[in-house]
Structures are given as C-alpha cells and as structure tokens.
Amino acid sequence: LNRGFSNGVLVSGVAGFIGANLTRELLSQGRYVVGVDNFSRGTKENLSWTESYGDQFVLLTGDVSDSENLGSLLDIAGIAQKSLLEVIHLAANSDIAAGVSDPRIDLKDTLLTTFSLLEFCKRSGIRRFSFASSSAVYGDHGETRINETTAPLFPTSNYGAMKLASEAIISAACESFLDVGYIFRFPNVVGTPATHGVIFDLVNKLKSNPGPLEVLGDGAQQKSYLHVSDLVDAILYIKSVETAGRVVFNIGPVDEGLTVREIAEIVIQVVSPSREICFTGGDRGWLGDIPRFFYSVDKLSSIGWVPVMGSRESVRRAAVEVAGQLCCA
Amino acid sequence: LNRGFSNGVLVSGVAGFIGANLTRELLSQGRYVVGVDNFSRGTKENLSWTESYGDQFVLLTGDVSDSENLGSLLDIAGIAQKSLLEVIHLAANSDIAAGVSDPRIDLKDTLLTTFSLLEFCKRSGIRRFSFASSSAVYGDHGETRINETTAPLFPTSNYGAMKLASEAIISAACESFLDVGYIFRFPNVVGTPATHGVIFDLVNKLKSNPGPLEVLGDGAQQKSYLHVSDLVDAILYIKSVETAGRVVFNIGPVDEGLTVREIAEIVIQVVSPSREICFTGGDRGWLGDIPRFFYSVDKLSSIGWVPVMGSRESVRRAAVEVAGQLCCA
C-alpha cells in the first residue's frame, strides 16, 4: 500500500490545540496531512471533523520521541516516507510548571521529540522542518522589547530551555541536511480546542467554583496574546514567503498585551458577570513565570503580515469560545 | 567513611585536557577535588601528578550522563554529597565532526551529562554550577565581533547545539535551585595534555607522515586561540569576581586570531622545519566548521582580566608542548 501522494506534511502533536487548528487549514488548502499524536493532552474529538477529508488525512497514534517507532507507525499505515515533503513539529510538553518540578518531562516531550523527528528527516530525505518555538526561549528581559536578535537567551523554565535546545539542533541540521528550518516563536496563544493556559484555567475555575475567582500572582503580569486563527495564518504566510535557511520569526500581536487582571475581568464578563477576583499575590504566577513581557513583531510586519486581532480582542473571543467548549463538554 | 571536607568541588571530565589543568590549579589553591571521568578520551596519565595531593583528590571512574550512577560512585567512595560545594562540568564530546555524523554522541556526552549533573545538584543541595561552554553556540556571524549579547544563536554543529542546550537548562536551574550558574564560552584552547584539536592533529601528521603536511580546508579559516593556562586563570578569576545569578563570559585572547595557514607554519617551524603544506581546499575544514570568527572579550576585560598570551604566542607555546608530549608518548 502506497497512498500515492507526494506533497504530504507530517504534523506532530496533531490532536493538540494548535495542531488541530493548523491541520484544518492545511487540509482546506488541499494538502495531504499525516498527523501523529500520543494523546497525552490532545484528543480524538479535536479531530472528529477530519472524517470529511477521507484519505487526505491519516492519523497515527504514538510517540515521536523515538524515531524508529515513528518509522514503524508509517510502515504499518502504508505511508512511504518519500511521500512526505515536510515535517511540522508541534508536539511538546505544554505544562510549564510540571517541567520545572520534573525536568525529564520537557527533555523527553519537547527536546527528544525534536531530536528524533530530525533523525527521521535525515533518514527519510525530508528537507523542510517547522518548529513551534516560544517566546519562553528569551527569558526575562524586563522592559526591553524583545526581537529575534535579543540576547542573551536565558530561559527561566525547562520548557523554554528545551524549546531553545530544539532550535539549536534544528540550526545544526540546517547546516547539514535540511533546506529550511522554520522557528516560530510565539507567546500565549488562545482559542479552542483549549487544553491549557490562562483562559482555560480561569473559565474552568468559574464553572467549577461559586466563590471569588482565584488568580495566581498579583494580576500585574503583562503579556501578549494571539488568537490561534491569526497564528495559523502567520505560520502559513511565513512559509510561503521565506523558503530557505534558518527562518526565525516572533509571531504575536502588535500591541503590548494585557495584564492578568484584565484577562480575569474579560473572562468574568463573558462567563459569570459580577464575580469577584482574589489574587494569590507575588509578581509571578509560578516558578519560571515572567512578570512582564514586551514582544516585538517588527520583523514579521516587515514582510507584510499583521494579525486580524489585538490581544484584547483575541482574549475576548477566546473566552467566548472556551466557555462554549467547556459548557458542552 | 566521610572524608570530612566541606568545600569540595566535583569536576566532571577531570582527566581531559582542560580538566587536568584546572584540577592542578584547584589543588594548588587548597581545594578538595572529586574528579570523575569515563576515560573515553581523558587518561589516568593526565592525572598521575595528583598522587602527591593524597586525600585532597579523589578520582571516580564512571559516566555522569546518569545522575543515579554518579550518586552511587560517591557513596562507594565514601564521599557525603553535602561535602560538595560546587560542580565544574567539563565532560563533553569534543569531536565536532563525529557529532555531525551521529547526533546521539553530543546528545548523550554533552547535553545529558549537563542534565544529570543538574539533577544531582538539585537532589544534593549543590547551588553552584560552572559549565565549559563554547564559542560554537554563536554559529556563523561573518565579520561581526561576537560578544555575549550577539544573536541569533544558530549553532552550525550538534556540538555547538548541545552546548547551547546545556546553557539553556543551566539558566532554567538558576531560576529554581542554583545560586550561580557560570557559562564560560571559549574558543579553541591549546596546550597539553592535548587529546584533540588542530595543533594536536598537525603535530601528529608531521610525526607520522614524511610528506607534505595535509591541512583541511584552504588554510584561510581564521580563529582565536587561547592557551589553557590563560583559560584556567580566567575561569578562576571570573568565579572570584562574580558570585550570583547567570554569569556568562566569552574567554579568549584580545587579538583577532590566526589563520590555519599561520598555525601550520608555526607548527612546522617548531616540529619539522622546511616541510611543505598542501591544502585540501574549501572554506571549511569540516561540516559545521566556521570560516572566520571574530571574538569580543570586552566584557571580560571590563572586569579586569586579560590573558598573558595572544593567539600567536599561545599557538607557538602549545606547538612546543604538544611536540614534547607526542615525542615522549
């Protein structure tokens, strides 16, 4: 069995929040997608709508932190490795706090997945690799607007560290066997199907607890928020414009973001108006959190892309979407 | 058995080139040193002189890429983990070309050694960590003078990638359980006991082959060279001046380095005058090599340290030393 396509894209973490959204767009553009997920956080329900695409979408269940395992999964599914043109690597641990207490989580789920997917590319002759990196690679730069040449890169969490480590081995692979390595550094991304993140947590708390909304930290932490629809659009835009070498872009809104207090207020307004807020205190929500974060997307603007929504609109829309997702689950 | 000291330093890769030199200085300053090496490249002969230090030096044989194994080694040797004040981590794969063809070498010998030593520190309450990083974390910046805030960090080899990955997890550990993480980024270091590197290779070729000296690349690659005695001095100086947080320094000579052709000429002059040179051609000695490299040590100068020797003097002295080492081996 050879499924007979030649422009296939392998998407790791396909059943996660970003994976499901990106795959929807890839399929609608006529791409063949082979998705793989270990379903540690992603769910098959996130991909239920793919049924209408028939053979254009293949779902593999398994872990990509072992490249031989991935080869076996493809063999069993009857997919020739030469039918794959590129890899889009989204699989990662997304629980930052968990990775601080046990660094092996980020090592395995974030770095070793990248490592083994690169091994897989080298062995299979796949020369295009896209990676979901993060603003967390930068660490804490205070009031500085962070752009792609900001340094030193001192991540404050193992999550950020293993994202940076992944970037590093992709860079080395670009010297050796890749034609292009895309590194997309994005901040907090919001929307549905949510599996984690501040909006997901706040909506959950409001739904499960009748008292005041408990918010981690002092509410002053300020960050940028991007809606997943804008993120997917930016990724595909960059891939269409830049086609060789090491391609690194910050992706985010053009504004300076919202405070956690503002987010809590928006979520309350949408889900449960008149609820009060109580803050746990401290300038960080958790160990490894960054209190303030100013993100420059000038490089992305310079190639002609701007998001449809700003941070406030993204958060408001996501709050409505997440509330809908959780009420019907 | 508890050896009863409380200011011990654990040195990984103790039997290697830099490990042996650094340990000599630490012992002469009265420090207790617990050295560990898997003797993949280092040798016991490199440490034969330690006998005169008696109980001030303990040598453990084993691999530090497994933190539980390290704990067992210490237990067997009767060393309480609380007797260790700090870790100086030098163990790494030093064969850049080998790591390009098999990325698992750098993953295990460079990154996983750092990862497990950090695990060991967290478990043992050790709050000071020094790391032998490399100018290779920067990648190719052409004619730019590279300082500690140069970015983006796009290593061209898995060697450089896993050094950068190591820096990243040390940075995360500084947020969580380390008081200080030293990141020493050095360029080519020369001297004895040599186990690898351009001078070692050239002297070896001259001794084992009567024909013209074959040099990889076109001879125009230009880099900085630091003598190991200066390196050790710089490391100890920085550790005495900077005592908290993430401490990153380029270490190197203040000049712009030498070309490979100049190095070959110096080595020939020392070892085998009148020998001819033939170049294999191409602007890189090997895949992942960087043709030109200008290294700023302004930050190190600004805290009051300058090397005794420049690149030329370092190379000349190292050529004499390496020739002596290899003639008597």
A150 and B150 in contact by Cβ < 8 A? no
Please tell me the predicted confidence (pLDDT) of residue B138.
Answer: 96
Q: What are phi and psi of B277, to 5 degrees?
A: -115, 140
The pTM assigned to this predicted structure is 0.94
ipTM: 0.92
Beta bridge partners of B188: B225
Give whole-number Cα distances, B109 to A102, A125, B12, in Å. Answer: 21, 26, 11
Q: What are phi and psi of B12, to 5 degrees?
A: -90, 150
A169 and B158 in contact by Cβ < 8 A? yes
| Nearest partner of B5 among B67, B70, B53, B68, judged by Cα | B53
The number of residues making up chain B comes to 329
B246 and A153 in contact by Cβ < 8 A? no
Give whole-number Cα distances, A148 to A62, A135, A293, in Å. Answer: 33, 10, 14
Give the number of C-alpha atoms closer than 13 A to the C-alpha of residue B141, restricted to the C-beta side.
23
Please tell me the predicted confidence (pLDDT) of residue B265.
Answer: 96
| Nearest partner of A131 among A82, A86, A85, judged by Cα | A86
Residue type, position A276, single letter: E
Q: How many angstroms separate the CA atoms of A158 and A155, rounded?
A: 7
Q: What residues in B contact A169, CB-CB < 8 Å?
A: 103, 158, 161-162, 165
Please list, in sequence order, all residues whose beta carbon lies within 8 angstroms of the beta carbon of residue A251, skipping any fewer than 6 positions away: A184, A185, A186, A226, A231, A234, A235, A238, A297, A300
Among chain B, residues having any CB pair with chain A shorter than 8 Å are 100, 103, 107, 111, 115, 118-119, 137, 139, 148-158, 160-162, 164-165, 167-169, 171-172, 174-176, 246, 248, 287-288
Among B149, B154, B175, whose Cβ lies nearest the Cβ of A171? Answer: B154
Q: How many angstroms separate the CA atoms of A286 and A289, rounded?
A: 5
Beta bridge partners of A295: A146
| Nearest partner of B146 among B198, B89, B186, judged by Cα | B186
Chain A contact probe: residue of B158, B247, B296 with most A CBs at under 10 A:
B158
Q: How many angstroms separate the CA atoms of B135 and B78, rounded?
A: 38
Q: What is the β-pairing status of strands B222-223 and B258-259?
A: antiparallel
Q: Which residue of B has its CA nearest to A168?
A: B161
Q: How many angstroms separate the CA atoms of B59 and B177, rounded?
A: 27
DSSP A249: E
- For A49, the token pair is 């709508």
Give whole-number Cα distances, A323 to A193, A203, A219, A309, in Å. Answer: 11, 6, 21, 19
Q: Judge contact between A31 and A88, C-beta under 8 A.
A: no
Helices (H), A125-176: 158-176
In order along its 329 residues, chain A shows pLDDT tens digits of: 445 577 899 999 999 999 999 999 999 999 999 999 999 989 999 999 999 999 999 999 999 998 888 999 999 998 888 899 999 999 999 888 888 889 999 999 999 999 999 999 999 999 999 999 999 999 999 889 999 999 999 999 999 999 999 999 999 999 999 999 999 999 899 999 988 888 999 999 999 999 999 998 899 888 899 999 999 999 999 999 999 999 999 999 999 899 999 999 999 999 999 899 999 988 776 666 677 778 999 999 999 999 999 999 999 999 999 999 887 65
The number of residues making up chain A comes to 329
Please tell me the predicted confidence (pLDDT) of residue B14.
Answer: 98
Could you say which residues of chain B have pLDDT below 70? 1-4, 285-289, 328-329
Residue type, position B11, single letter: V
Would you list the DSSP string of B162-176?
A: HHHHHHHHHHHHHHH
Please tell me the predicted confidence (pLDDT) of residue B326.
Answer: 83
- What is the CA B75 to chain-centroid distance, rounded? 28
Q: How many angstroms separate the CA atoms of B244 and B242, rounded?
A: 6
Residue type, position A101, single letter: S
